[in-house]
Structure 1
Amino acid sequence: MSFLDYLISVDARAALMGRMMRKLGVDRQLKVVPDHAAVTDRAVNRCRSCGHQDECSTWFDQNEQADAPPDYCRNRDLIARLQHVAGQR
């Protein structure tokens, strides 16, 4: 894998994280949590280190509506907390 391929892969995983937050309706809550920049950075890093990007892309294609992320999602706990704060659960 070239360095450019690596960067594209990392960027694609970060985009998946944003897409997941939007799909589950917590993107706005993520922007207003205390120290949101650090929380977002950690969430992006968890997504970047995930090895399930193909499964995640397939999950998006198969789930137009969803209440929770897939079980393998490394940001599952964060999303649940943000949903709780938003009163979605």
Structure 2
Amino acid sequence: MLGKNTLKRHAELVDQMATHVGVDLEDSAIGGDVSIDQISDAVLRCSDCSNPDHCAQFLAQSAQGQKTPEYCRNTSLFDRLTSLSESKRDG
């Protein structure tokens, strides 16, 4: 079982990565684009990452608006939410 601190750290990484790619998870959840269960699943996928320190370093050093790193376990979720967010802005 994952500890509280581990889950909290990965929840923060998921939120930071979403923000990094231009997605506001809270707005996406309120708008119905993502469920709380899907966000929870994203945190669990993130917690399976073997190198969260590299992810944190990537987020600290990369310009906002870039793609997720190739090893990110939530790339498909973030890509889908980014597309939805862009289409709402354009539409």
| Range into which the TM-score falls when normalised by the shorter chain | 0.7 to 0.9
Give, in angstroms, the shift of residue 66 of structure 1. Answer: 3.0
The residue that corresponds to 2:42 in the other structure is 43
Bigger RCO (CA 8 Å, 6+ sep): 2
TM-score (norm 2): 0.76
Cα 1:79–1:59, aligned 2, differ >3 Å: closer, same or farther? same
- Paired with 1:30 and 1:69, the residues of 2 have a C-alpha distance of 20
2:56 aligned partner, one-letter code: S
Aligned residues: percent identity?
A: 27
Aligned length in residues = 84
- Give the gaps of 5 or more residues in structure 2: none
TM-score (norm 1): 0.77
CA RMSD of aligned residues (A): 2.2
- Give the gaps of 5 or more residues in structure 1: none
